[in-house]
Amino acid sequence: MSKFKILPGVFRKSGSGDLCFVFYKGGILAKKVGEDLHIPSFDDIKRLNIEYEGEFFLGELEEKSCFALEATKEAALPKEFGMISLHDVGAFMNEEVFAAAGRAEEILNWDEKHRFCGRCGARTEDKEDELAKVCPSCGNIMYPVICPAIIVGITKGDKLLLAHNKNFKNNMYSIIAGFVEAGETLESAVKREVFEEVGIKVKNIRYYKSSSWPFPNSLMLGFFAEYDSGEIKVDGVEIMEAGWFTKDNFPKGLPKKYSLARQIINEITSKKL
């Protein structure tokens, strides 16, 4: 599997053979080839007469340049093309395509929300030498917004803490996660989020790995931790149910395989439970 490579500071225009991540009203354009879904090429976009704006160079995937495009109106599509959700990109395509699609979504979302300066209100312009917006009136520079969030797998002996968030579909259970607050360390954020959501204290916090999570612009920082003290008491606002599970009695609904949450669960179950 070829890695998706981000090439910062490189600006190109899309052309024949390039991959185009086209978004419209939250969906992304996909092309069905046999039983597989693929990202369409610039040639496909041209043939379909798709009108778009906000073209951004993303990087390279499988030695092809990738671009993010925002369609300006709904297009009449032949049967082999369709709009799918970004979640479905992760479910039906490989992780590298999901990474590129996520970067595209984050950049287009940032572009839409920063067309005017937050300092003086003037209309912004694309900066010529890097991925940023600049205000021609006051000189304010705005970069793509990234929101750090922690996610943690908590063990208690041979058990793993799993919780059901009110926003989860299909009775899914996952591990605890939350955004890092201003002035807060990552370890402090882990302790605070766990205590706020399920009422327990944790210890031996250890960093695992990070992953982009484009819903809409998070950087997930994964951790392991061990139970220290307290009884589970869900907050009733975000978390509706929580409990300790062994790998033999996990809930049927778990996070998607491409998510960092699932990778943490798999790592813990393969080594500890």
pLDDT tens-digit series, residues 166-222: 999 989 999 999 999 999 999 999 999 999 999 999 999 999 999 999 999 999 999
Co-location of 96 and 121 in the same domain: no
Residues 6+ apart with CB under 8 A from 46: none
pLDDT in tens, 116-169: 999 999 999 999 889 999 999 999 999 999 999 999 999 999 999 999 999 999
pLDDT at 10 over 70: no
Count of residues in the chain: 273
Residue (of 193, 110, 119) closest to 146 by Cα position: 110
Residue (of 133, 132, 48, 116) closest to 82 by Cα position: 48
Look at residue 67 and tell me if it is in a domain: yes
Residues 6+ apart with CB under 8 A from 11: 57
H-helix or E-strand containing 261? Answer: helix 260-271
Look at residue 167 and tell me if it is in a domain: yes
- β-strand 27-33 against 81-85: which pairing, if any? antiparallel
Co-location of 104 and 128 in the same domain: no
Co-location of 121 and 96 in the same domain: no
Look at residue 42 and tell me if it is in a domain: yes
Tokens describing residue 212? 């982009």
Co-location of 90 and 201 in the same domain: no
Co-location of 162 and 232 in the same domain: yes
Look at residue 14 and tell me if it is in a domain: no
pLDDT in tens, 72-93: 999 999 999 999 999 889 888 9
Intra-chain end-to-end CA distance of the chain, in Å: 30
Residue entry with tokens 């033999």:
248
Compute the distance between CA of residue 33 and CA of residue 30 in angstroms, rounded to an integer: 10
Last residue of a domain, one of 144, 163, 184: 144
Look at residue 176 and tell me if it is in a domain: yes
State the pTM of this model.
Answer: 0.91
Are the beta carbons of 38 and 68 closer than 8 angstroms? no
What are the φ/ψ torsions at residue 19 (nearest 5 degrees)?
-90, 135
Co-location of 109 and 135 in the same domain: no
Domain with 133, as residue range(s), is: 114-144
Residue (of 2, 189, 167) closest to 87 by Cα position: 167
Are the beta carbons of 232 and 198 closer than 8 angstroms? yes
Co-location of 157 and 118 in the same domain: no
Q: Which pLDDT does position 1 carry in this prediction?
A: 55
Co-location of 267 and 151 in the same domain: yes
Look at residue 204 and tell me if it is in a domain: yes
Domain holding 37: CATH number?
Answer: 3.90.79.10
Look at residue 11 and tell me if it is in a domain: no
Question: Radius of gyration over alpha carbons of the chain, in Å?
Answer: 21
Tokens describing residue 192? 């605070």
Number of domains comprising the chain: 3
Co-location of 205 and 240 in the same domain: yes
Cα–Cα distances in Å, from 257 out to 34, 81, 130, 168, 204?
23, 25, 34, 16, 26
Co-location of 133 and 154 in the same domain: no
Look at residue 238 and tell me if it is in a domain: yes
